[in-house]
Amino acid sequence: MYESWDTDFIVKMSLDQVNLLIEEARRKFPIEICGGLFGIINGKEVLVKKISFLRNVLASRELFEVDPEEFLAEFIKSEREGLQHIGFFHSHPGTTEPSKIDLKFMELWPGTIWLIISSLNRNIAAYRIVNGKLRLVYIRILHV
Ligand SMILES: [Zn+2]
């Protein structure tokens, strides 16, 4: 699938948030971790304010599926806090490349940000499906 940089969106997150995701991915390795991302969308900028770890109901090293009840509870709670659902994250024991199954789910949630964390090399990458095409989303790490 064609990959190019998303010019419409950038994700801003703190170094602490990135480290939290990487540490948790390594702690649960090789099981994939997963969850929701909540924050504030301001024009082209998406600021991550909350990382919600959700149970991977598949407890798999190749697949993930967030617990739907946990997700709904976090979604409602976050809306009350004035935060929008901006995307999902999950880890891979391998690279940050989306799998074929990931791409299928991504197509069901067009415009949503998908963060993939590699517990192999501590890389992190963000993607979006825009007009049926996979785009890489730039992540700006805030050193606060
Ligand atoms: Zn995946």
Cα separation values, 26 from 46, 87, 119, 137, 144, Å: 26, 21, 5, 23, 23
Q: How far is the CA of 102 from the centre of ligand 1 (A)?
A: 5
At 1 the pLDDT is 54
User: Domain of 10?
Assistant: 3-142
**Per-position b or e across 56-68, b if 16+ CB within 10 A of its CB:** beeeebeebbbee
Pairwise CA distance, residues 106 & 103, whole Å: 5
Higher-confidence residue of 48 and 143: namely 48
Q: How many domains does the chain have?
A: 1
Report CA(113)–ligand 1 centroid distance (Å). Answer: 13
132 alpha carbon – ligand 1 mean position (Å): 18
> Taking the complete model, does pTM exceed 0.85, yes or no?
yes
- Reported as a single tens digit per residue, the pLDDT across 88-112 is 999 999 999 999 999 999 999 888 9
CATH of the domain at 55: 3.40.140.10
Distance 27 CA to ligand 1 centre (A): 17
Side-chain-side CA neighbours of 46 within 13 Å: the count stands at: 24
Please state, in angstroms and rounded to a whole number, the distance separating the CA atoms of residues 114 and 127.
Answer: 5
**Tokens of residue 32, six digits:** 């994939």
Q: pLDDT exceeding 70 applies to what percent of the chain?
A: 98
Say how many Å lie between the CA of residue 92 and the centre of ligand 1.
6
Please say if the pLDDT value at position 130 is more than 60. yes
